Chain A
Amino acid sequence: MKNNNKLLVVSDLTKVFIIGGRFLGVKLVAVNRESFDMEEEKPEIFTIAGESGCGKTTLARMILGIIEPTSGKIFYKGKDITKIQSKEDRLDFMREVQPIFQNPFETFNPLKRVESYLIETAINFGAVKNRSEAFDRIEEVLQLVGLSIKEVEKRYPHELSGGQLQRVSIARALITNPSLLVADEPVSMVDASIKMSVVNLFKDLKEKYGVSVIYITHDLATAYYISDRIAIMYRGNIVELGPVEKVMLNPLHPYTKLLIEAVPEPDPDLKWKEEIKLSAMEAKEFAKLGCKFSERCLEAKERCHEITPEKIFVDDRWVMCHKYK
């Protein structure tokens, strides 16, 4: 099958939420028939970026198996994970794929000591035989993230800083030796002065230990800094996907252009010059025919409002826009 040597294959994945009751509810297509894949041999940091509500978190949660897709398939190392039923298969999958969450203060129960999660993970996945071995393994992973067991032992989450907690969270995920981390906005709640040290950690994990990372973010500057490939999502669709240098330095999709244009540069010499125009009214783009971005797009033609564009391979990346056909 085509899934050989693929770490992850997402194929035709769709998630429809029904908001407000089973019968009178409104259908909301959070992810609309999306596909992408990641190589097993070549570890990479794959970024899924977009504004709030674009479906990036839903996509990540489906990959983690926390929410069930409405349709479509997800293959991890050739196995369809949407069909996992037994507890053993679930544990096997979690041994390979681990999450990092957004809010480090919420990742751990505030009423429990953080080390309890480390011990649980070490023991439940059979990585170790007993508690003393568990502590050896914990010390090992904590060192990987630049902490030591002394800093963590017997501590409650509120006794650690956001940066430390996020490191502990990464260390916990590493205990089982996973091949893939799914990190949902892992630095958006970490203090500015230590943010980059956490970001650098992901880079190290990829380069030194061959861990692939799916990095979900709205922060395009850090996305450029760490990722190899990037997918830009808009209203449930990946509108552009390719190597980060290509997509971000020379964006093709009008939405990607707008997004990158709007990122403020941290340099007073590179201030914005001209003003941009924004829509005033709440748009009902989820229910729209054709390209969902067409209402906001300055280059929109008639067909953009009527026909959903196909994905086209141009200049090393996939673009979902009529312009390049």
Chain B
Amino acid sequence: MTQPLRTLRLAAWLGWQLETNWASPWLFAIYMVVKPVCGSLMLVCMFYAARAAAGAKVPAEFLPYLYVSNACFGLIGTVMFGLSNAVVTDRERYRMLKYIYISPAHFRTYFLGRGLARALEGTVGGALNIAAGLLLFADLRRAMGGEGIDWLWLVVFLGVGSAMLWAAGMILAGACLNMSRNGMFLSEGIGGVVYLLSGVVFPIAVLPVWIQWVSRALPTTYWLEGMRRALMGPVPADTPILRGPLADWSNAELAGMLALTTAGLVVVAHYFWRWNERRAWRLGKLEENAGV
């Protein structure tokens, strides 16, 4: 039992060191704030551009929807991209992946540890992003101040969500085991697809019906809906533009569906990782370098 814990601790420590020790603490703090806030501000600019062009048709509630969704999605992006990046850099740059593989450390636990470091970074980034939004935009203050944060559901969604994040990250990291350095771009691309299908910047009702069913098969859709509800309360009934097919679900139904789809994702991640690990071992990909 101590071996997996030691692996977890060391991997998390290593991940944190690699993420942070490249810069002075001040530069790192700027990095933690600027990146997510600028991403959200771009959406805010889109909102105002659309409002300027379409007038009153765009409700004020659209801005907090965009902002909070995007801030929460940052956590998904950080962990998913972070895990595949861990595979690529450990193999291509530090050339340590093969040594970790042959060590007594549990390979998957090692990546869980690396993911923990990224999750911490993503959580802090997300919180800072929302804090900046609260400071800058009255619409966001109104939305989050209305019913206040539902801490119980926030903990529930974050708890189940962490299993979802790890599973999603392991699927991408597994794929990267068999890919060259370009695996990093794959994970970014997949991140974009999940961004689309989970309805981060629009309610999924806008999507064609058959795509909506794909969205409803993804745990990220339920997680984001749950996080929005926990932070801002349910979508107001007088803004039909923001009401998607999940608007009438209760929090318990959302959490149940999130748990169910996450369980499915964990099973897929388990087998997909195992298959990729064996394939990489068979093809000698664990130590292959391919610079372009």
Asked if A and B are interacting partners, one says no
